[in-house]
């Protein structure tokens, strides 16, 4: 709930700042033209990570728009936190108990419906959206630097090993290995998703996309996706998100 409140306040701040920064009234000569197509890129912040998005849209009418999105988001566990080995001053940070780095790729199709048209002097246009599609979860195993004692007292060797909760503990983990380790051991988890939300278009010109999207998303997987060693794997992820979009509209 704290993350959701933070995202909502950040979104309101951006809209408020944009409205104040417009200053004088700007006349948009394209306001009476229905621009049929749009393309935009976005950055996503959600309650379990972040991501990026590419969107293409087509206006069926002035009140309804079809959208196709391609997204990639990181999915973290709300219970994870970073720590270091307290017995070695030069140790590296890591997340104790984390089995996999998880990313979700989404292909999404759906509808944006107009709720409030933007006034002629500018302001904010509001649309309600409902969308769904396919998800692909990708899990990359976590590799750690592991301390191995030697015959000589207080002398250790450091090896890169895939995290094993039965062998690796706080006292023998030196830190997280490079992120590139484990890409040859990816696990795939196909699934589906759906989302609902509100899209606030605060751009000055109709030919430019500047919008803030706020909503809820759920990803569901028939095979559970493991993130943490000491928690049940996840059959679904329910997140609340904030999405900034920038792009163009054209015919």
CATH of the domain at 24: 2.40.160.20
Burial of 13 (0-12, 13-18, 19+ CB in 10 A): exposed
pLDDT above 70 (res 156): yes
Contact 164, 205 (CB under 8 A): no
Q: Is 7 helix (H, G, I), strand (E, B) or coil?
A: helix
**Confidence (pLDDT) at 121:** 65
pLDDT above 60 (res 9): no
**Confidence (pLDDT) at 123:** 80
Q: How many distinct structural domains can be found in the chain?
A: 1
pLDDT tens-digit profile of 33-84?
678 899 999 999 999 999 999 999 998 888 999 999 999 999 999 999 999 9
Token code pair at residue 213: 């999207």
Q: What is each CA distance from 51 to 71, 74, 102, 104, 117, in whole angstroms?
A: 7, 6, 12, 9, 29
What region, left, alpha or beta, does residue 172 occupy, with left being phi > 0 and alpha being psi -120 to 50 degrees?
alpha
Please give the residue range of the domain that contains residue 70. 2-250
pLDDT tens-digit profile of 167-193?
999 999 999 999 999 999 999 999 999
Q: What is each CA distance from 181 to 64, 79, 142, 184, in whole angstroms?
A: 46, 23, 8, 8
Which pTM was predicted? Answer: 0.85
């Amino acid at each position: 709930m704290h993350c959701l409140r933070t995202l909502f306040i950040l979104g309101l701040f951006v809209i408020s700042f944009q409205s104040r920064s417009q200053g004088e009234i700007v006349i948009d000569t394209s306001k009476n033209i229905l621009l049929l197509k749009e393309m935009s890129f976005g950055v996503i912040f959600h309650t379990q990570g972040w991501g990026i998005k590419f969107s293409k849209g087509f206006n069926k009418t002035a009140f309804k728009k079809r959208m196709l999105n391609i997204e990639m988001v990181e999915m973290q566990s709300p219970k994870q936190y970073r720590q270091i080995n307290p017995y070695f001053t030069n140790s590296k940070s890591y997340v104790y108990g984390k089995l996999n780095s998880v990313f979700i790729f989404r292909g999404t199709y759906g509808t944006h419906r107009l709720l409030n048209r933007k006034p002629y002097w500018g302001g904010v246009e509001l649309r309600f959206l409902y969308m769904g599609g396919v998800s692909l979860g990708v899990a990359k195993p976590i590799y750690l630097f592991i301390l191995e004692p030697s015959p000589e007292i207080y002398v250790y060797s450091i090896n890169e090993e895939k995290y094993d909760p039965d062998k690796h503990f706080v006292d023998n983990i030196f830190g997280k290995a490079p992120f590139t380790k484990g890409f040859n051991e990816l696990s795939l988890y196909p699934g589906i998703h759906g989302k609902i939300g509100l899209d606030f278009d605060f751009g000055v010109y109709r030919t430019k996309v500047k919008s803030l999207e706020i909503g809820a998303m759920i990803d569901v997987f028939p095979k559970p996706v493991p993130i943490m060693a000491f928690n049940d794997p996840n059959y679904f992820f329910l997140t609340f998100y904030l999405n900034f979009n920038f792009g163009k509209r054209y015919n």
